[in-house]
Structure 1
């Protein structure tokens, strides 16, 4: 087998469709060129015609377990061309009513090298007689050791990483076809809509990526609230001890300290609920990120199919009935998958709307409680002056005021971030509606 790598660029996407038995029914020009087979040599052949022995058999078993269960799957796969050259892909496969559709890109993320090491170890184990089911268990074990919940968690995060890495690497890349695009009247509307949808999908992906990054800011602020709660509780205890030393004269201050402690307990309860809501929020943001990434993947594939079809024609007359049928048969399942995935995007939008409202309500509750702390701080200062309390009590009250200011600042940051995130979601909804409308009119 050759140790040469096949020519496969970052901007290119593979496309293939098989029947339920994995027999190839269609493939795009990138698939045909890189695999080095003629189209006729690929059609009606099992997809494993391009299988490379460097991909563990356990990976393919896992692949089929997902597909047989009606679930899409993504995985790193090393393939083999007709002449024995190799090429790596990050492949995502989707179940269809009559078969399966696969889109592949060139891997470039940090997970790629990790997976290659894992595959080498798996191949050695399989060569020593490892059962394929045990091989899947080994994959799951290694995945969990890397910090993922399971393979499904890994593959979704790998998809997002691969698309983000690809975007960064392609920023300086300018694709030149070297061939002027002819106009095919039957495809002009499709191509224009496809290009607009690709642009909108990339914008949506970028905004969702920004939204996902912002959840880290929210988490940090949430943790700051919980930490401040612990500090406030400690200060109120010290305040109660200091006021008790004043005996009868210190009772009003002791009452202030007890009220502050009660408010701290309320803050802790509200913060605990807030943290719970935030975890659900973070999960929903990531689910939407993945759904938007998949939609973008599918939309870009449809756009590339249109470009390839036009570039394969020397004149508009070359786009005959056979080519039109082949083009429509490839785009139809993609359009269906995009529509189905938009339903997922829509559901996650709704979840985020609900959770954003819940987060803002929690923030408003906490704001009311911290306002109460401010009032008690003023009462405490008045009482301290009245009884002529010493510096110790003054220091405790000053600490309490400082912590209350931290609360106010943190809550203000949280509220601002939540509102900004809500604005991003509204923009994403607009992009989604634009894409859906153009898909209907294409």
Structure 2
């Protein structure tokens, strides 16, 4: 049998570990390793004397883009949980692929890693290799690397990388349960579905904003047509000015609703993602804790102390997850109300559009250009109404799901 760490193994092959195994490490605020579990020690290939007191970057693999660590550190240094796929390097030069869930706590950071098994993990491994190759060949800095990762999240419909990684965690937990033949976890599934609904909601909102931005050019076209059909200050010119003024007000409201760091959609998505991370931790930490029971005592790790620490973090994580769900519920209610308000404002635009259509009919043959412009308005209005209805349906659905989840959690407590 091949030894678990062969010093002659320099081909960079994958270091095996089982799907049911979990890695654990705890660091101080600077990222210096203070504790870990036997699986981490075994797969990394280092002795405890080499791990304890060493920076966690000891196991960093150059194929993990620098942007990944920038995203992780930005989140946990602000006190937020975060997750990421990470390719690590063992002492013998081999590598191992994990999904890391990182939790900040008073005095440092904790990381629990599981073996990725979803279809997404394979795509991310390929993406990492491509980004890392560009970092070496083109000299990409961490921020440029972060931009590529965020673009990938946006391409999949997620408003933030946090939401994308929350989606990844839900996929990994579900696939791990399936392969280990464990019962499906209803709460994880529910939050995963809500996260996907948030991604769809973000897509609809961005599409709505694009439609409104495109709409801004139509009143200008109408005014140009009016200048050829009537004297200055005529009814078509007045209609175009009224339409433009009203649409600008709605467009500005939409911008506050959809874009910017503090928009409602992003805040609600972030709270759902935070709750999903914390829920995932509430499932993983007890399993990690049970794993410590099977470990043999050693002078470097206070196993009982680590178990008590994990139990405390688990309890805090559950409380924080409930708070995040309640906050997300409040944001969802605000989003639903905002959607209704914007729909009411659209009725005013519809009235102006109808007046334009009436004026077009009055001009008859001379109004061909005006008719084409009004047709554009009809198309945009139909698209906007459809998106608003979809947004209201999705936001109300998310709100109801959140309220149901909070009730289930309260009943369980």
Q: TM-score, normalised by structure 1?
A: 0.67
Which is higher, the Rg of structure 1 or of structure 2? 1
Q: Say yes or no: does 1:143 pair with 2:146.
A: yes
TM-superposed CA distance for 1:42, in Å, is 8.4
Contact 1:109/1:161 (CA < 8 Å) preserved in 2? no
Aligned to 2:156: none
Contact 1:270/1:362 (CA < 8 Å) preserved in 2? no
SS class of match (1:54): coil
More helix, by proportion: 1
Among residues 356, 370, 390, which one is paired with 2:350 in the alignment? 370
Q: Say yes or no: does 1:96 pair with 2:101.
A: no
Q: Say yes or no: does 1:214 pair with 2:201.
A: yes
Q: Say yes or no: does 1:329 pair with 2:304.
A: no
Contact 1:90/1:104 (CA < 8 Å) preserved in 2? yes
TM-superposed CA distance for 1:87, in Å, is 0.9
Q: Say yes or no: does 1:303 pair with 2:283.
A: yes
Paired positions, count:
383
Equivalences for residues 35-434 of structure 1 within 5 A: 35=44, 41=48, 45-46=52-53, 48=55, 51-52=58-59, 54-55=61-62, 70=79, 74=83, 77-81=86-90, 85-106=94-115, 108=121, 110-119=123-132, 138-144=141-147, 156=162, 159-160=165-166, 162-163=168-169, 166=172, 170=175, 173-176=178-181, 198-244=185-231, 255-280=234-259, 283-307=263-287, 327-378=307-358, 381=361, 384=362, 391-393=365-367, 395-396=368-369, 398-399=371-372, 401-434=374-407
Aligned to 1:129: none
5+ residue gaps, structure 1, are 126-134, 178-194, 245-250, 315-321
Residues 342, 44 of structure 1: CA spacing in aligned structure 2 closer, same or farther, 3 A cutoff? farther
SS class of match (1:88): strand
* Cα-to-partner distance string for 1:274-332 (whole Å, 9 max, x where unaligned): 43134348954344434433433343343245456679999xxxxxxx99986553232
TM-superposed CA distance for 1:120, in Å, is 6.0
TM-superposed CA distance for 1:412, in Å, is 2.4
5+ residue gaps, structure 2, are 1-6, 153-158, 295-301
Contact 2:102/2:109 (CA < 8 Å) preserved in 1? yes
TM-superposed CA distance for 1:30, in Å, is 5.5
d(CA) in 1 for partners of 2:165, 2:195? 14
TM-superposed CA distance for 1:109, in Å, is 5.8
* Cα-to-partner distance string for 1:363-422 (whole Å, 9 max, x where unaligned): 3112123223314533553xx3xxxx55222x3454355344335423421331232122
Aligned-residue RMSD, C-alpha:
4.6
Among residues 4, 7, 10, which one is paired with 2:16 in the alignment? 7
Q: TM-score, normalised by structure 2?
A: 0.71
d(CA) in 2 for partners of 1:348, 1:391? 55
TM-superposed CA distance for 1:14, in Å, is 3.3
d(CA) in 2 for partners of 1:336, 1:363? 41
Residues 433, 236 of structure 1: CA spacing in aligned structure 2 closer, same or farther, 3 A cutoff? same
* Cα-to-partner distance string for 1:115-146 (whole Å, 9 max, x where unaligned): 34554676899xxxxxxxxx9x9222443466
Residues 123, 403 of structure 1: CA spacing in aligned structure 2 closer, same or farther, 3 A cutoff? closer
d(CA) in 2 for partners of 1:46, 1:238? 75
Contact 1:229/1:267 (CA < 8 Å) preserved in 2? no
TM-superposed CA distance for 1:266, in Å, is 2.4
